[in-house]
Amino acid sequence: MEAVVKRARIVAVVIGSVFFVLVCAPNLGAQQFYGTITGTVTDPSGAVVPNATIKVTNVDTNVTSTLTTNRAGVYVASSLIVGTYRVEAEAAGFKKAVADRITLEVGATPKVDLSLAVGRTTEVVEVTAANAAILQTQQTDLGQTLNITAVQNLPTQGGTRGRSPYSFLQLAAGVTQQFGCSGGGDGVGGCGNDGNVRISGSRPRNDDNILDGTSITPPVFGGQDVQPTVEAIQEFRIEQNSMSAEYGKAGGAIVIQVSKSGTNHFHGSAYEYNKNQKLDAKDYFADPSKPKNPFTYDEFGGSIGGPIVKGRLFFFVDYEAIRLHGSQPVSGVRVPDAAFRSGDLGALCTGNGGTFDASGNCSGGTGQQISDPNTGAAIPFNNIANNTCVGCASPSAVSQALLGVWASGGTLAGIGVDALSLNSPGSSTANRFNPRVDLNLSQKDHIFGAYHWDHGLGDVFSSVYVGKAGRQINRTSQYAATIGWTHTFNPTTLNEFRFGITHRIGDRMAFGVGADTPSTFGLEGLPNCLSSVPDTSGGKKCGTPGVTIKGYSGVSNSGMIYEPASTFHFSDSVSKSLGKHSLKTGFQADHYSIDNYQPNAVDGQFDFSTAFTGDPFSDFLFGKISSGSLQVQNAFVSTRAWAYSAFVQDDFKVTPKLTLNLGVRYQYDQSFHEIHHGLANFNPYTASWEQFGVNGRPDTTLDPSKKQFEPRIGLAWNPMGGFVVRAGYGIMHPGFVGHGRAGDGSPSPNLLAPTSFNPGTFWDVNPLPGIVNPDPSKITAPIPVNSNISFSSWAPRKQYPTYTQLWNLTVQKQFGNDTTAQIGYVGSKGTHLPINYAYNLCQQTPATAAAVPSGFNYPALGLWSETSSPHCPVAAAVLNANTGGPFGCGGGFSISSVYCWLTVTPGWWGLSSSIYHSMQAQVDHRFSHGFQLLANFTWSKLIDDSSSDWGGFWSLDVLGQDLYNRKAERSVSAGDIPKRFTFAPIVELPFGRGRKWLDSGVGSEVLGGWRLASIYTIQSGTPFGITDNKYGFCNSSGMFTDRPILIGNPASISGSQRSTNLWFNNQAFDFSGTCPGPGLVDLTGPGDTSKAFGNAPRFYSNVRNPGLNNLDLSLQKDFRIPVGEQTRLTFQADFFNLPNHAFFTEPNADPITGYSPANPALGLRGSGFGTINTTAGGLGGLAANRIIQLGLHLYF
């Protein structure tokens, strides 16, 4: 009975809490998009004045909000659009007090106190309040706002998506940016896909991006669904550390962008920016004798905004287009020569010292004789035209058709091989459109609607297939739409509702899509692709088959991705001013919808390498494959999920000088489910397949956490004018990380079916035999372990909730009206951070390694196995007992019905952690007297045991060398950048009209209107790590993730000794710790199993990749146009990497690069080990060489 009562109480509390939140209405939106002005009204004696009338007016739109002070004399004007404001206070018996020119920024809460003098209300007392927001006395978060002056003038480089406001992230304290790593979370560098940005210790892709109050961050991969134009952005803000409870779904940072709205006056612009190779410097490693790669970049657009009905209805709209055309030189493309293409392979004999006898049989030297694939009879003179015997095979019509689109020509590069050098063209286009409408229904109601559309299309061309057969289409189409309604119930109560949609379609088509299909070349029986995939003529023209021929350049045309994804956002919030308390409560619901179509080898991938006829190219001419693969997907993998969150925030003014920020947030992220029950996974605990949502199995892939509570607490103390001390602490949980293919499920056989074609199959057979189609009847639970089914990974249903703790202690000082300086300690700690890992890893030991005979492998798979291990999980014994087969530990991802073995299973789990400490300092001078400055310095240390959660599963950074000893993986992070300094001034030269000198005349026209803006960045390099890429194979994963033994100091080379020819001491490592067995490893020396796991750290804190020393400069001149007061034409020349510094990638960490057994002096080292031979341009807008961008910008 007591248990029933307890459960009833719990249910009652939950229902009551939900009802309260729903009735009181919530959101994450009010401060995410707007700002707040607050203050206290006092009389001459200092006593508070209750019930004073406050009018807050936007000077650009003349829209006024009227409210009254409460019993504590406090007023709070919430949900104000960013801009410039005037605040008026009136009370009977007092003169009117007016504070003018108050700059309100997104997320800011300037304190504007007003003191009333005794007198008549018709009298006015002006209060100095300009730039009141620059001293942050009401909040404890660490944020940085870039106003429209910075957005318009600081140099931003155009790329395939245009000039991006996101590049301004680098200007905030605590932000570091990796470059020169392998990207996408792959390899040693552990980079991410959002410009490789880390914010105060967070991982890449862990920030939430908010546009006009709606999150535009897609689940799983992070980043932004939509990228608005620079022209459309009014303000850009980065929020981080101990934020208000209204913020969440992030690992520590929120990026806020606010679009422009119209005003009472018409304003607009038109612009064009251009770049090409003629003005740019050459890459550091480019051949000086060869011309620069040609390209043309053009970005153009315009905007206009103003009143539809003055004071009530406003609009703003902009359009931008990007056109990028270029080519990339490609050399060494190996294609068949004219004789081989015609079927005359006689050079295989004569070119190798052989001769033909009268019957056409080859002998002598190393000459090769080709034979008929059916009878085995020799083909006279190696000429297929002579293959006329009874029962002999005919040349393949499929192969002849493919040769019709195969590149030809070039210079002789070997027997039957020509080498081509060509310029591979590429192009991309983008179009962006951003309209917005604001409507003031009354003083109590404001409604706005904003739409952001972003469409990009790129073409890539194969170097082997020519014409349309070699064209690959890459497309992104996305939009975000938001509707917001702010309603004021009374002077102390305000409600805000928000509805938003984001939609994104990303695709990568196969070569030849829209022009060809396998049947175009006579390859029959391959099913069509999904009819809804664009450019495929309803699924009938899905591309050209992929072909590789040993000895020739081939085409890997195996993949197609088409993924529409949508997010629906609902939110509401209530703000209430109650005495000394500013209360806010909010609720948010987001629905995620992802439809994934991603078959590998959608057009078939075929390999010719076995030489059934004596030569791989001869095999191709007869159409006899060595291997082939195909995947058929008959429907989208359609995953859906909801996410809910609620918060309560109380900003409590304990005294006029002390404010407490108290809040709590709850977040519930539902696990994704597939609407067709089309996800399955292998459970290593039971050695069986599990179909989600079938036969009593849960419908979702993971069990969501119900414990994601996020307390927030902060203190802001203003002990004296112009000085504030702040401290804060908070917990945050990131949003979704997985959905189906993203680490917690695989498409099951009712949606996706793989086919492996038998070696020796003739591809002219109609239809091609052995094709497997998806079969809904295979939905069973458990799916038999000997089924021909592949899977990508496995994740336990019970997941640890990932969370980050954040804290800071800072002091801020204001100097004059326009300048602040801030310094403080900022820290964070990540717990249960997700990583990929090898779940059923059979760890090698010296004893088990010695028990495995050298070269022991499965002949069909070429992988090795051990028959026993002390570290294999229970699934190993179950599988062995059920099948009688050994428990394999290799590098594949399938269950083989032939050998009944389970390979190493990649998994996803919250096993990682991090810790970050930093000193962050900042100087911010708001634009005044022709000068603006933002400078910051970060001194930090970041430690973790894995620096990435996505991509690069088989990498040093993710897998590690010993899964069972996570402590050995702990080191400085791949993203550890100890020192970073940025300096971003905007300077108007003091000449010309309205300035200090040369106010008029010819000198004014020539020297006037000039402006300089720059971003200077200097930062330390990221740490370096080395895997035992050739000599270590001891962790049974089938991959090279072991580390060497340190026998010296790799940092002993430094200063003038260090160069791109040798970046570190490459003799400081012992690579002899290896295990016998894997046939994949060419052992060059005796292995020592006692050194199986090296003592070298994951990353070396004293060996750093090259750092960054970069200056981007913008030189601008305004030309006054005598049409209106504000019309001007601005010429802009942007110089990216002005000093032309080379920014290098990380050194080569592979010890066998350039290894030659003929040069024993190198030891077990290659000549390329420790060298650098590439630059790091393109990451995060970084220019590897000087780039010049010219532009004209008309403002009116």
pLDDT in tens, 879-906: 333 333 333 333 332 333 222 233 445 5
Residue-wise DSSP of 140-175: --EEEEE-HHHHHHS-----TT-S-GGGGGGGSTTE
Give the single-character DSSP code of 195.
S
**Quick one: pLDDT band at residue 459, thresholds 50, 70, 90?**
confident
Q: Does residue 345 surpass a pLDDT of 90?
A: yes
Cα separation, 45 vs 1112, in Å, equals 54
Computed on alpha carbons and rounded to an integer, the radius of gyration of the chain in Å comes to 33
**Quick one: pLDDT band at residue 968, thresholds 50, 70, 90?**
confident
Which region holds residue 1166: left if phi is over 0, alpha if psi is between -120 and 50, else beta? beta
What local confidence, expressed as pLDDT, does residue 407 receive? 92
Distances (CA, A) of 281 to 278, 494, 938, 1136, 1137: 8, 56, 31, 11, 10
**Quick one: pLDDT band at residue 687, thresholds 50, 70, 90?**
low
Cα separation, 231 vs 259, in Å, equals 9
Give the single-character DSSP code of 1062.
B
**Quick one: pLDDT band at residue 746, thresholds 50, 70, 90?**
low
In degrees rounded to 5, what are phi and psi of residue 514? 85, -15
What local confidence, expressed as pLDDT, does residue 1000 receive? 78
Residue type, 1174: T
Share of the chain above pLDDT 90, in %: 36
Cα separation, 772 vs 638, in Å, equals 22
- Provide the 3-class DSSP secondary structure of residue 1091: helix
- Averaged pLDDT of the chain: 80
Q: Are strands 63-68 and 1045-1046 parallel, antiparallel or unpaired?
A: unpaired
pTM score: 0.83
Q: Could you count the other beta carbons within 10 Å of the beta carbon of residue 1018?
A: 15
What local confidence, expressed as pLDDT, does residue 897 receive? 26
Lowest mean pLDDT among 419-423, 698-702, 1114-1118: 698-702
Cα separation, 42 vs 53, in Å, equals 13
Cα separation, 563 vs 117, in Å, equals 65
Q: Is pLDDT larger for residue 6 or for residue 458?
A: 458
What local confidence, expressed as pLDDT, does residue 368 receive? 93
Q: Does residue 1195 surpass a pLDDT of 60?
A: yes
What local confidence, expressed as pLDDT, does residue 884 receive? 31
**Quick one: pLDDT band at residue 685, thresholds 50, 70, 90?**
low
Lowest mean pLDDT among 210-219, 349-358, 857-866: 857-866
**Quick one: pLDDT band at residue 858, thresholds 50, 70, 90?**
very low
Lowest mean pLDDT among 79-93, 831-845, 978-992: 831-845
Q: Does residue 13 surpass a pLDDT of 70?
A: no
Helix (H) or strand (E) holding 84: strand 83-90
Residue type, 866: E
Q: Is pLDDT larger for residue 433 or for residue 1026?
A: 433
Q: Does residue 1191 surpass a pLDDT of 80?
A: yes
pLDDT digits (tens, 9 = 90+) for 70-88: 888 888 888 888 888 999 9
**Quick one: pLDDT band at residue 1165, thresholds 50, 70, 90?**
low
What is the mean pLDDT of the segment spanning 168-187?
64
What is the mean pLDDT of the segment spanning 321-339?
90
1052-1072: string of b/e by CB count within 10 Å (b at 16+)?
ebeeeebebeebbbbbbbbbb
Best mean pLDDT range from 707-721, 835-849, 863-877, 1079-1093: 707-721
Written as six digits, the tokens of 670 are 């539902």
Lowest mean pLDDT among 4-18, 69-83, 1047-1061: 4-18
Q: Does residue 710 surpass a pLDDT of 90?
A: yes
Query: Domain 24-134: which topology?
Result: Immunoglobulin-like (2.60.40)
Q: Does residue 843 surpass a pLDDT of 70?
A: no
Q: Does residue 849 surpass a pLDDT of 90?
A: no
What is the mean pLDDT of the segment spanning 405-417?
92
Best mean pLDDT range from 44-48, 100-104, 445-449, 633-637: 445-449
Share of the chain above pLDDT 70, in %: 78
What is the mean pLDDT of the segment spanning 231-240?
87
Q: Is pLDDT larger for residue 280 or for residue 1156?
A: 280
What local confidence, expressed as pLDDT, does residue 878 receive? 30
Cα separation, 1183 vs 1138, in Å, equals 9
What local confidence, expressed as pLDDT, does residue 1177 receive? 64
What is the mean pLDDT of the segment spanning 370-388?
94
Q: How far is CA 270 from the centre of its chain?
A: 31
The residue with tokens 């096993």 is: 911
What local confidence, expressed as pLDDT, does residue 5 receive? 34
What local confidence, expressed as pLDDT, does residue 360 receive? 95
Beta bridge partners of 476: 456, 506
Best mean pLDDT range from 97-101, 153-157, 575-579, 917-921: 917-921
Q: Which of 631, 808, 839, 787 is nearest to 712 (CA)?
A: 808
Q: Is pLDDT larger for residue 910 or for residue 1022?
A: 1022
What is the mean pLDDT of the segment spanning 8-31?
36
Q: Is pLDDT larger for residue 736 or for residue 585?
A: 585
What is the mean pLDDT of the segment spanning 154-175?
79
What local confidence, expressed as pLDDT, does residue 1085 receive? 40
What local confidence, expressed as pLDDT, does residue 870 receive? 31
| CB contact at 8 A, 803 and 733 | yes
| CB contact at 8 A, 511 and 555 | yes
What is the mean pLDDT of the segment spanning 701-715?
90
What is the mean pLDDT of the segment spanning 1043-1070?
85
What local confidence, expressed as pLDDT, does residue 1176 receive? 76
What local confidence, expressed as pLDDT, does residue 213 receive? 87
What is the tally of helices (H) and strands (E) in the chain? 10, 53
What local confidence, expressed as pLDDT, does residue 844 receive? 43
**Quick one: pLDDT band at residue 1151, thresholds 50, 70, 90?**
confident
Q: Does residue 386 surpass a pLDDT of 50?
A: yes
Distances (CA, A) of 729 to 144, 200, 661, 713, 1152: 18, 14, 10, 5, 48
pLDDT digits (tens, 9 = 90+) for 758-813: 999 999 999 999 888 887 666 554 545 444 455 555 666 777 788 999 999 999 99
Q: Is pLDDT larger for residue 875 or for residue 260?
A: 260
Residue-wise DSSP of 327-375: EEEEEEEEEE-HHHHTTB-THHHHTTT-EE-TT--EESTT----B-TTT
Where do you find CATH 2.60.40.1120 in the chain? 24-134
Cα separation, 40 vs 363, in Å, equals 103
Lowest mean pLDDT among 239-248, 691-700, 892-901: 892-901
